[in-house]
Amino acid sequence: MSYVFHRMPKKSLPAAVAGDGIEIIDSTGKRYIDASGGAAVSCLGHSHRRVVEAIERQARQLAYAHTSFFTTQVAEALAEQLVSTAPSGIGHAYFVSGGSEAMEAALKLARQYFVEIGQPQRKHFIARRQSYHGNTLGALAIGGNAWRREPFLPLLIDAHHVSPCYVYRDRLAGESDEAYAQRLADELESKILELGGDTVAAFVAETVVGATMGAVPPVAGYFRKIRAVCDKYGVLLILDEVMCGMGRTGRLYACEEEGVTPDLLTIAKGLGAGYQPIGATLASDRIYDAIVDGSGFFQHGHTYMGHATACAAALEVQRVIDEDNLLANVQARGEQLRAALRARLGDDAHIGDIRGRGLFVGVELVRDRTSKAPFEPQRKLNAAIKQEAMTRGLMVYPMGGTIDGKLGDHVLLAPPFICTPSDIERIVERLGDAIDAALVSTGALAASAS
């Protein structure tokens, strides 16, 4: 009997009692390698001494001061650190408590920006199918994750969706990356024109798609073309790096690799690395100046925004990543992880695609490799893989609905940046065994053979 209102009340969960580097330990003493960082959160693993001490120092000195009365040194220092490492043009950080709050702030900032500059007719948001931007009503409305949206549809504001950039399934045979990116940019342009060029406020996208599709990076040049379309029609570009940002792809900001600067950039998860709940909306000078020179304030706010203890944790996380040169490790271990997955699973008839960037990796499962046909969703293959992995002391983040919200299965991996080469080997070995076992226990293997 539990008094906690759990996510899935009928499911019985082990109790986590301690963390030790890349592992979580449950109340029976069993250890689990956290190969997904929870949901791409715990980038420094668990119980990191420096971060724990920074939190303790800040809590002793000052845990919290309401942001309508005070600023704090630690929030100022964190903002400076983030802005100084962000793509040029990003000038300010608005601190909140998580990813959905960061997205809500981004949507409202975009809207208020247009009100401030005398374009109040801009009210439409365009995002992509098969994306996730959070579970609060605004973020859920913008997101293109069909099953998450469905029960709440009557409550959601209008949002418009175009195709994701999904090479494995959607690039046509013989189509170059360039031509594919152009086709998608043309689709966005048509959508903007359909809605009325001067009525669209922003285009929203995850730089590298996370949980919904399983670490899907864009093709080269895609975001440059998207940026050009946005600029042509005065539409803002909002990049959601709640999951893929803060070093996960081997760059602090995933969009660095795309060569574009968004107008608004959201981060969370890896920002506080799970040590404190914190997110941020980073704003370009253009947006910030319009608000400051206009009404003078952003009409938004939360009680816990800019929380001093959360900022102290995030600041220490950023220092550790920098001083321990962890981005280089993310790149090296990411290459190793993809190569090891290809070696272990690459010849498996049910592994369709192994993809990702840095330590953000996706494995997509298929019933048939040639046709790329997925398994029947009723088999719940992704859930079985999660369970088999937990049995083997491995945390991964599988999900279904990879293709359209209903069909498809994938596994998302997001191990801590501190992983060693032997950690990667252990992760691949356990995951390989878990996938093999799940294909058998769900009957998927037998069904595909018959």
Among 210, 247, 250, 306, indicate the residue that binds ligand PLP (CB under 6 A). Answer: 210
Pair 263, 236: CB distance under 8 Å: yes
8 Å CB contact between 315 and 50: no
Per-residue contact string for residues 231-270; x = within reach of ligand PLP by CB under 6 A: ---------x-xx------------------------x--
Q: Is 99 in the site for ligand PLP (CB under 6 A)?
A: yes
184 scored as a contact of ligand PLP (CB under 6 A)? no
Q: Using an 8 Å Cβ cutoff, are 238 and 202 in contact?
A: yes
Q: Show the 3-state SS of 303-322.
A: CCCCCHHHHHHHHHHHHHHH
**Between residues 105 and 268, which has the closer beta carbon with respect to ligand PLP?**
268
The DSSP bridge pattern shows strands 409-413 and 397-400 to be: antiparallel
In the complex, least distance from residue 7 CB atom to ligand PLP, rounded to whole angstroms: 12
Query: Cα 115 to the chain's mean position, in Å?
Result: 29
CA distance 198 to 194: 11
Identify the residue among 37, 45, 134, 398 touching ligand PLP (CB under 6 A): 134
212 or 284: whose CB is closer to ligand PLP? 212
Asked if residue 238 lies in contact with residue 203, where contact means CB atoms within 8 angstroms, the answer is yes
Nearer CB in complex with ligand PLP: 206/423 = 206
Q: How many Cβ atoms sit within 10 Å of the Cβ of residue 357?
A: 23
Is 211 an interacting residue with respect to ligand PLP (CB under 6 A)?
Answer: yes
**Binding test (CB under 6 A) with ligand PLP, winner from 95, 132, 168, 360:** 132
Q: Smallest gap, in angstroms, from Cβ of residue 212 to ligand PLP?
A: 8
Q: What is the sign of the dihedral through the CA atoms of 257, 114, 298 and 133? A: negative
Note the maximum CA span of the chain.
69
Q: Which of residues 268-287 bind ligand PLP (CB under 6 A)?
A: 268
Stretch that binds ligand PLP, among 18-26, 29-37, 92-100, 187-195 (CB under 6 A): 92-100
**Which one of residues 133, 338, 350, 386 is an interface residue with ligand PLP (CB under 6 A)?**
133
What x-and-dash track marks residues 308-327 binding ligand PLP by CB under 6 A? --------------------
Rounded-to-integer distance, Cα 107 and Cα 141, Å: 11
Residues that bind ligand PLP (CB under 6 A): 39, 98-100, 103, 132-134, 206, 210-211, 240, 242-243, 268
